[in-house]
Chains A and B, each alone.
Chain A
C-alpha cells in the first residue's frame, strides 16, 4: 500500500492506495497518527483508491476518527466505491462518518474552497 498526504489550507488529505487490511494497517496508523502527533487535527481521508478493506482496516479508520474528534479536529471521508460503502453500511459507519462522493465536495464541506476544481462538472461538459 502507498499513502499519499497533501496539505491544503490546513486540511490534510490522506489517500491510502491499495489494500487497507491486517497487513497494511500498521503503516497507515503510523502515517496518520504522526499527523495527529504533529497536531494536524483536520483530516480528509480519501478512500477512493482503496481496493480492499477488512475489519482491521475498518478499526484503523475508527481509531483515526476518534483521535481527531477527541482533539476537536474535523474529519471527513471521500468514498465512491460501492464495495467499500457496503462494508461501511454493514458496520453502521455510514451513519457516523461524514462521507462525500469526491474530494471536491469534501473540501467544500469543510470550508476549503480555493483551488477547488469539480472535475466531474467539467467532464460532464466534454
Chain B
C-alpha cells in the first residue's frame, strides 16, 4: 500500500520525504518492496544502502529550503535506476566524489559505499539543488562490489 503522495506504476515509483532522519527507515522499506516486486531480490540490500546514503547526505548537508527530498525509482529491463534529488544549497560534486579521504577518517564514506554498491553513480549539483543518479543492473547478483 503506497502512502499519500506516492506515484507508482508497475516499474516506477516516486515519493517525497521530509528532511529528517525518520525518512531513512521509510525509504528503505519502500525501496525493498519496489526492488523485490521487480525481481531484484539479490540486489535489494545494495540498492537500499546506496539510496539511504544518498538521502543521508541530503539530511546532513543540503538542508533544502522546502524540507523535501525526492526519490525516483525506475525498473527497466535488467536494471534499476535511482534518483535522489533536493533543492538545497548544493556542493562541489567533483570535490566530494574524488576526495582522497584519510583511511581512518570517522566520516565521509557515503559516496564510497554508493560507488561500490551500485554500477554507476553520478552527481550534479549547483546552488539550486543536487541530483544523485545511480544504476544497478540485475547481472548475476555480484556486480558492483568486490565480491564480483
A and B from one complex: yes
List residues of chain A with CB under 8 Å of any chain B CB: 21-23, 52, 54-56, 58-60, 62-63, 65-66, 82-83, 86-87, 89-92, 96
Contact indicator B109/A22 (Cβ below 8 Å)? no
- Inter-chain residue pair count (beta carbon < 8 A): 57
Q: Report the separation of the CA atoms of residues A23 and B25 in the bound assembly, to the nearest whole angstrom.
A: 9
Contact indicator B147/A82 (Cβ below 8 Å)? yes
Which residues does chain B contribute within 8 Å of A65, judged by CB atoms? 104
The distance from the CB of A102 to the nearest CB of chain B, in whole angstroms, is 21
- Interface stretch, picked from B3-11, B70-78, B111-119, B127-135, is B111-119
Q: Report the separation of the CA atoms of residues A65 and B105 in the bound assembly, to the nearest whole angstrom.
A: 11
Q: How many residues of B contact A (CB 8 A)?
A: 22
Contact indicator B116/A90 (Cβ below 8 Å)? yes
Contact A55 to B113, CB < 8 A, known contacts A23-B21, A23-B24, A89-B146: yes
Cβ contact of A22, chosen from B21, B104, B112, cutoff 8 A? B21
